[in-house]
């Protein structure tokens, strides 16, 4: 609850800053232009050295433990310490039991996910670390949730929309099979590279009623500064923790937030036109965010910071 209130406060504060333009629907100066820094946003989590220069404090478990022992501030650690909670602290085990029930349930084609991918999805080990991936049938990049939806349609005979609880449970279950595996999204050439570049453009382009880009908040000077009790973090590294557990929001999705849902939530909060989850537009942004996390270990299931900053 507290968090929802914070979100409202943030919106109120944005209105205070940009209220006149928003209320009168006057176009804000700079819309359509790029926020600075786009060319420097390249794949690889270590790129954050050039952005916030906090990377050495959180680059791996050892660095995080050292920073925490030294009691460095949240903003010095780029808030990465908030992902330090373990599954048993927030009922992650129960969630995986529910996920397994969906995973092993046969659909109208008489098969379950387990029929092809192993009882515990062990045949999908490491796979989630490579997503989004190019799908040659659809001829575009797809996120893990879209891939799962397609397997549901093609092989199981069950409807698994990307915004559904069942889909998101399966995404968490499959991603847990990559826990600890460094993210490796290939954006080196072809349609993969083109998708990365479109996603990067979307992240840096100023749009919407306030004329914000994602980068307006998630790169300097705003990044790591608290906006009414909430903090926009660097675009490097966070993507490794999705889907993420966020209680008490989204009970219909088993308290799971996918990366594309977070992107949509931010877009909506920032008064940008939103796109459907699973769309090419949001998949491109996901490609961009995940590729920026290349080299960072998948950390699923972990918990959204929620109240942890209070």
Residues 303, 60: Cα–Cα separation, whole Å: 17
Q: Are 214 and 203 in contact (CB under 8 A)?
A: yes
Q: Which residue has the tokens 């914000």?
A: 212
For residue 284, the minimal CB distance to ligand HEC (Å) is 10
Is the bond leading into 105 cis (omega within 30 degrees of zero)? no
Q: Shortest gap between Cβ of 254 and ligand HEC (angstroms)?
A: 15
Query: Does residue 181 belong to the site contacting ligand HEC (CB under 6 A)?
Result: no
Q: Does 263 bind ligand HEC (CB under 6 A)?
A: yes
- 161-171 per-residue burial string, b: 16 or more CB within 10 A, e: under 16: ebbbbbbbbbb
By the rule CB under 6 A, 216 interacts with ligand HEC: yes
Look up tokens 């602290």; give the residue.
89
Contact between 156 and ligand HEC by CB under 6 A: the answer reads yes
237 forms part of the interface with ligand HEC (CB under 6 A): no
Nearest distance, CB of residue 171 and ligand HEC, angstroms: 8
284 binds ligand HEC (CB under 6 A): no
- Cα–chain center distance at 16: 28
d(CA 16, CA 6): 15
Residue 185 within binding range of ligand HEC, rule CB under 6 A: no
Residue ranges binding ligand HEC (CB under 6 A):
7, 111, 113, 115-117, 124, 127, 133, 144, 147-148, 151-152, 155-156, 170, 174, 203, 212, 214, 216-218, 227, 230-233, 238, 262-263, 266-267, 270, 272, 285, 289
């Amino acid at each position: 609850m507290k968090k929802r209130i914070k979100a409202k406060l943030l919106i109120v504060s944005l209105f205070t800053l940009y209220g006149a333009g928003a209320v009168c629907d006057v176009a804000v100066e700079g819309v359509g232009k790029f926020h600075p820094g786009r060319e420097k946003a390249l794949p690889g989590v270590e790129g954050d050295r050039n952005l916030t220069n906090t990377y050495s404090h959180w680059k791996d478990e050892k660095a995080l433990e050292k920073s925490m022992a030294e009691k460095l501030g949240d903003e010095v650690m780029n808030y990465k310490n908030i992902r330090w909670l373990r599954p048993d602290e927030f009922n992650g085990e129960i969630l995986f039991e529910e996920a397994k029930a969906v995973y092993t349930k046969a659909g109208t084609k008489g098969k379950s996910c387990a029929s092809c991918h192993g009882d515990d999805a062990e045949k999908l080990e490491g796979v989630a670390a490579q997503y989004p991936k190019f799908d040659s049938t659809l001829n575009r990049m797809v996120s893990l949730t879209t891939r799962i939806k397609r397997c549901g349609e093609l092989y199981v005979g069950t409807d698994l929309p990307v915004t559904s609880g069942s889909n998101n449970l399966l995404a968490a279950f499959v991603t847990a099979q990559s826990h600890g595996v460094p993210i490796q999204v290939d954006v080196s050439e072809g349609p993969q590279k083109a998708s990365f570049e479109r996603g990067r453009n979307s992240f840096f382009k100023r749009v919407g009623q306030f004329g914000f880009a994602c980068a307006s908040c998630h790169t300097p000077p705003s990044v790591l500064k608290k906006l009414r009790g909430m903090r926009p973090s660097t675009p490097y590294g966070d993507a490794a923790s999705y889907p993420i557990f966020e209680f008490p929001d989204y009970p219909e999705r088993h308290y799971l937030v996918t990366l594309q849902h977070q992107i949509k939530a931010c877009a909506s909060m920032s008064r940008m036109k939103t796109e459907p989850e699973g769309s090419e537009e949001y998949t491109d942004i996901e490609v961009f965010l995940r590729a920026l996390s290349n080299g960072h270990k998948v950390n699923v299931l972990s918990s959204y910071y929620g109240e942890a900053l209070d």
